[in-house]
Structure 1
Amino acid sequence: MSTHPAVVAVKPRAPLEIRNVPTVKPGKGEIRVKNEWTASTPLDLHQADGGLLIAEWPHLLGDGVVGPVVEVGEGVDNLTVGDQVFGFTWRTAKEKGHQKYVTSDAFLFGKLPPGIEPQAAVTLPNNAVTAWHTINVELGIDLPWPKPANFSPKEAESPFLVWGGSSSVGQFSIQLLKYYGFRNILTTASKRHTDYLKELGAAQVFDYNDPGVIETIVHARGDKAIPYIIDSIGSLDGSIRPLSKIATKGSKVAVMLPVVVRDATASLEPVYAMDVTENVHWAEGVDVTGVRTHFYLKKLQPEVIPTLLAEGSLKPNRQKIIEGPTLLARAQASMDALRNKEASGERLVWRVSDD
């Protein structure tokens, strides 16, 4: 069997390594893609530093893929060899995003729309899907597709709070809410992102660095509950504790998992939790749930995300391109940038294949 290079974590907090892994032929309903670009995610850091959800080492990383289809399995009729695709793949080693070739189900990919650069497109699949899944499944909001003409949600004028609007999930959440007619989208971010988030659809942007931000948001909501809240950060102290003081009876809160109890430092390992009620008191009548994205409608990536991207209803995240002379150098530099929190409001994107 032929092999190709892949980026792996070999043990917690160790430098990344390159391993040669099998190049898997596509089975029924699958395609094989030559992966040209990927984007690092917080999950990569959580796994590399804390071993989150890793059963055995070494562990392949990544879930974002952009590149040409190089082989098509039986029963695939919507994609052909040579099609440029982008996708969100994660389940087994052959599907991980930080390797030269990715083999996975065709429904996890969509065609790259004309005029969209691959390094921009790779910012979408995982977190646009996450935003949709959070709104539709975790919060129970109807997102009909195709969207009917003159569609308006019954909660269109109600406040909808997205904590961490400049994050990737936050940006896509705001855009999807705007697309479906929500007009009172509240969000938090540092001041430098205010204008951009309003351009994406936010009605009000609150500075989370302001010591009085909780009181400001409580005052803005008045005596009514904020019906829906998305926590796109999932930090115990940075987002969950503040939101527990904002959410009241009647609020539905969706928190991105894992809960980061403690970030990694030079001397301390990170601490994570998967229970969004642990160490936090929520008011009676608050419905809070943790979000894991890996269950979603099969039409999302092949149809919904490419269509919204092509028509401009979803804008890619801004990108910070990570350069380096080798695959390993780029992967490690991106991991270090994640660890050091060097990107704000943009995704860390890097080339996988050089040929």
Structure 2
Amino acid sequence: MSKITVPSKQTALFLDGLQGNLTLGATNILTPGPGQLLLKVKATALNPVDWKIQKHGIFYKTFPAILGTDAAGDVVAIGEGVTKFKIGDQVFCQGRFTKEYATFQEYTLADEWHLAKIPTNISYDQAATIPLCLATAFVGMYNVIPHGMGLVNPTTPTGQGHYKGIPFVILGGASSVGQFVIQLAKLSGFSPIITTASLKHTSFLQSLGATYVLDRNTPTSALKSQIAEITDNKSIQYIYDSISSSETQKTGIEILSPGGNLIVVLSPSVTSQDKRVTYVLALRALDQNVELIKGVYAVLEGWLEKGVIQPNKVDLLPGGLAGIIEGLRKMEQNQVSGVKLVVRPEETPENAK
């Protein structure tokens, strides 16, 4: 495809200060440098970290800031040295906590090695549900100790099916991260795969690979007994807590066997002398994550095309970037279950800009 004309200005959703307000405004569109690409964002997804940044003042120190870490869209410009992609490619990527790579805007930068093409069986909206939560699941499971569980990486065929007959427990399997953990556990061969969730999600989670779906409201002692019965009292060495409230962390550490690994996605509130608790931070630019996530993006198009990995269910919000504010409120109020909130920046009303 020939060169695409890119405007000089765009609309973005700004956080105006520490624990401040979200407002729409104009900002410059950047030119990609070496190894970078410029994307027109067709869809971006909301994550819990977005409302937590606004409420708790984490990760950002310079304002106004632009949030958002999931993008799907079209390549509209390419920087020097980029060879894997061309203008017009439909792609998706994980953003970063910087204005240049944030995704709550009409255009964003991407890095060549942390970018994948969208296969024809996946929409922009679906692709936008994948990056951050898949990275969170993958880093927690396959990064080396102390950054993850240190499991055998399944991006090569010899790494798949490695854990046959070994149980794996997910707390919060219907969450966006939990859904990807279930699928990766299946890819790695774990069995049985046991997850807690609202039972209304049972059929869907089983379709992703869960062997058993247990009621998330089950008391810890009863849940521990159910898991022991399912596994014939096998040692529980791997638990991924995709919720990581103080309550679920207590549940996880209680169920985990000595020597086991508990992954949490929020700051640890539990400790143990003989059990490892690991807080996963899936920022793609962290030194310990760069090559691991690069390896995922190298195979991700094929995994999606074959159905090895399936995206989250989409709940499309109206209003484009303006719809993010209400979406984050719903997430903070725990009014979202089993779906991923997505907006299309190009649907932002002109009178809202």
**TM-score grouping bracket, smaller chain normalisation:** 0.7 to 0.9
Q: Deviations over 1:48-97 (max 9, x none)?
A: 11112221332211011111100000100010111111111114210001
Letter in 2 for 1:119: D
Task: Quote the RMSD (CA, aligned, Å).
Answer: 2.0
Structure 2, unaligned runs of 5 or more: 1-6, 284-288, 349-353
Contact preservation (8 Å) 1:167, 1:232: yes
State yes or no: 1:197 paired with 2:186: no
Task: Indicate whether 1:347 and 2:353 are aligned.
Answer: no
Shift of 1:217: 3.1
Q: Which runs of 5 or more structure 1 residues have no equivalent in the other structure?
A: 260-275
Indicate the residue corresponding to 1:73 in structure 2: 79
Q: Deviations over 1:161-203 (max 9, x none)?
A: 1111001111111111212222211111011011211111111
CA distance in 2, matches of 1:194, 1:144: 26
Check conservation: 1:87, 1:301, Cα contact below 8 A.
Answer: no
Q: Which residue of 2 aligns with 1:331?
A: 324
Matches within 5 A, 1:45-124: 45-124=51-130
Determine if the alignment matches structure 1 residue 37 to structure 2 residue 49.
no
1:240 to 235, 246, 249: 249
The one of 285, 290, 294 equivalent to 2:274 is 285
Using the TM superposition, give the Cα deviation of residue 130 of structure 1 relative to its aligned residue in structure 2, in angstroms.
1.7
Q: Give the C-alpha shift of residue 17 in structure 1.
A: 0.5
1:321 partner letter: L
Q: 1:274-301: per-residue Cα shift (whole Å, max 9, x none)?
A: xx1x4x343x310111000122425345
CA shift, 1:323, in A, is 0.8
Contact 1:125–1:305 (Cα < 8 Å) also in 2: no
- Give yes or no for the alignment of 1:227 onto 2:237: yes
Deviation at 1:10, TM superposition (A): 2.1
| 2:135 alignment partner in structure 1 | 129
Match in the other structure for 2:193: 185
Residues 111, 302 of structure 1: 8 Å contact kept: no
SS in 1 for 2:181: helix
Q: Distance between the aligned counterparts of 1:216 and 1:48, measured in 2?
A: 39
Give the corresponding residue for 2:3: none
1:140 to 131, 150, 160: 150
Aligned residue for 1:24?
Answer: 30
Q: What does residue 319 of structure 1 align with?
A: 314
Provide Cα deviations, 1:78-137, integer angstroms capped at 9, x if missing partner: 101111111111142100011111013112211110131111111111111221211111
Contact (CA 8 Å) 1:71, 1:81: kept in 2 or not? yes
CA distance 1:174–1:119, change in 2 (3 Å): same
Query: Which residue does 2:259 correspond to in 1?
Result: 250
Native 8 Å contact 2:20 2:54 kept in 1: yes
In 2: Cα distance, 1:78 partner to 1:331 partner: 32
Aligned partner letter, 2:263? A
> What is the CA–CA distance in structure 2 between the aligned matches of 1:346 and 1:61, rounded to whole Å?
20
In structure 2, the CA distance between the partners of 1:308 and 1:185, relative to structure 1 (3 Å rule), is: same
For residues 192 and 291 of structure 1, the distance between their equivalents in structure 2, rounded to whole angstroms, comes to 28
Once residues 124 and 140 of structure 2 are traced to their aligned partners in structure 1, the CA distance between those partners, rounded to angstroms, is 25
Paired AA for residue 194 in structure 1: T
Find the partner of 1:168 among 173, 176, 182: 176
CA distance in 2, matches of 1:71, 1:127: 27
- Bigger shift: residues 49-58 or 87-96: 49-58
- Answer yes or no: is the 8 Å Cα contact 1:32–1:69 preserved in 2: yes
1:294-329 Cα deviation digits (max 9, x unpaired): 2242534532222111111111111111112x532x
TM-score by length of 2: 0.88
Alignment identity in percent? Answer: 31
Return the letter of the residue paired with 2:340.
R
Between the aligned partners of 2:226 and 2:8, the Cα distance in structure 1 is 59
Structure 1: how far apart are the matches of 2:89 and 2:309? Answer: 21
Instruction: State TM-score, norm by structure 1.
Output: 0.87
Code of the aligned partner of 2:140? T
Matched residue type, 1:327 = L
Which SS does the other structure have where 1:343 is aligned? coil
Q: Secondary structure at the match of 1:170?
A: helix
Task: Read off the aligned partner of 1:170 and give its amino acid letter.
Answer: G
Asked if the contact 1:35/1:65 (under 8 Å) is kept, the reply is: yes
Distance 1:158 1:34, change over 3 A: same
Deviations, residues 25-60 of structure 1 (Å, cap 9, x unaligned) = 000000000011100000001101111222133221
User: How many pairs align?
Assistant: 330
- Decide which moves more: 312-321 or 297-306: 297-306
